[in-house]
Structure 1
Amino acid sequence: MRDTTSRWRLLQAAAAASIAMALAACAPDSVRNIEAKGFNAYLDSLKTACPNMVIGNNNISQWLADNGNSGDDDYVYWLDQTSRLYYKRISPAQYRTSVSGALGAGKKDAGAIDCIIRHLPADRPSSPPGGKLL
């Protein structure tokens, strides 16, 4: 009886670990990599470099001040696309098209997106530290 209980617990632990790994692999780069110090510093720099950023109906500056809202689909999308831009997975032109297309076009969009792109570090990496991009 004790041997069966031990096996059952081991099986449950293995299943839980497998599920956690699968979910982590599906998360965007910005969510998966908590060690992204350079990316996080870039986001912090945008707070002062690009005040009053609005894209569509979304106040990007407020997201940055509040450290975002992971329950907000627009925030998650913006953060993922900004991570892709930072890590050179998409070009500035692709970023502009994807973000303004998904979050809604408005007059302030161009200025906010221009500022985000203009303040990209020239020496930014092409992948998160220790992370493997999908």
Structure 2
Amino acid sequence: MQPSPTFRRFTISRRFALACACAALLAACAPDSVRNIQAKGFNAYLDSLQTACPNMVVGSSNISDWLRTSGSRGDDNYVYWLDQTSRLYYQRISPTQYRDSVSAALGGKSDSRALDCIVRNLPPDRPTRPPGGKLL
């Protein structure tokens, strides 16, 4: 015996609703630096690094190239770096925590000139949260 068309429609509707809920949940887990297009201050900070810190490399990762090309969608190192840099910018982690976490993830030294330059060029009056966003 086959299910009625009404039952099938109900099942498809439930599946669609479940898929939408899962997509919304996953989007909410994205780093603020990736999902918050209103983060004009953070974006301006990233833009300023291109001039202030040319040729930034940590381990085998070319941060300057990421900034010029907006990274690569398939590059987990870029996503991690961007998330940690956002946390640093919004004062969620200290410069020491930033250096340690990024150098460990990207395989560079904790005294990397690139990381020093990123920290040195932080705006002194940066905000503590992204505009319109929640910090987890």
- What TM bracket, shorter-length normalisation? 0.7 to 0.9
1: CA distance between counterparts of 2:8 and 2:91? 49
Q: Which one has a bigger Cα radius of gyration?
A: 2
State the TM-score, normalized to the length of structure 1. 0.88
Q: Which runs of 5+ in 2 are unaligned?
A: none
1:39 counterpart letter in structure 2 = F
Matches within 5 A, 1:1-134: 7-8=10-11, 10-106=13-109, 110-134=112-136
State the TM-score, normalized to the length of structure 2. 0.86
User: What CA deviation, in whole Å up to 9, does each residue of 1:49-86 have, x standing for no partner?
Assistant: 11000101111001100111121111111111001100
Local SS of the residue matching 1:127: coil
Q: Which runs of 5+ in 1 are unaligned?
A: none
1:128 counterpart letter in structure 2 = P
Q: CA deviation at 1:15?
A: 2.0
Identity %: 65
Count of matched residue positions in the alignment of Structure 1 and Structure 2: 133
| Runs of 4+ more than 4 Å apart | 1-10
2: CA distance between counterparts of 1:2 and 1:35? 45
Calculate the aligned-residue CA RMSD, in Å. 1.9
1: CA distance between counterparts of 2:121 and 2:73? 24
